[in-house]
Amino acid sequence: YWARRAARGGPAVAPGSPADELQLIDVRDLAPFLVRVGLGRETGALHAVGAEVRWGDFLRGVAERTGDRVQWRWAPAEVLARHGLRAWIDLPLWMPAVGPYRGACHVDRTLAMTAGLWTRDPAETAVDGWAWRQAHPGDPSGVGIDPEVEAKILAEL
Can you give the pLDDT at residue 105?
A: 81
Farthest-apart Cα atoms in the chain, separation: 56
**Residue 140 confidence (pLDDT):** 60
* Per-residue confidence (pLDDT) for residue 150, from 0 to 100: 97
Name the β-bridge partners of 91.
87
Who's near 84: CB < 8 A, 6+ residues apart?
90, 149
pLDDT per residue, tens digit, the chain (157 aa), is 899 999 999 999 999 999 999 999 999 999 999 999 999 877 888 999 999 999 999 999 999 999 999 999 999 999 999 999 999 889 999 998 777 777 778 899 999 999 999 999 999 998 898 888 888 877 666 788 999 999 999 999 9
What local confidence, expressed as pLDDT, does residue 128 receive?
Answer: 92
Question: Pairing mode, if any, of strands 70-75 and 10-15?
Answer: parallel
What Rg do the C-alpha atoms of the chain give, in angstroms?
17
Domains of the chain by start residue, with CATH: 2-156 (3.90.25)
**φ and ψ at residue 24, rounded to 5 degrees:** -150, 165
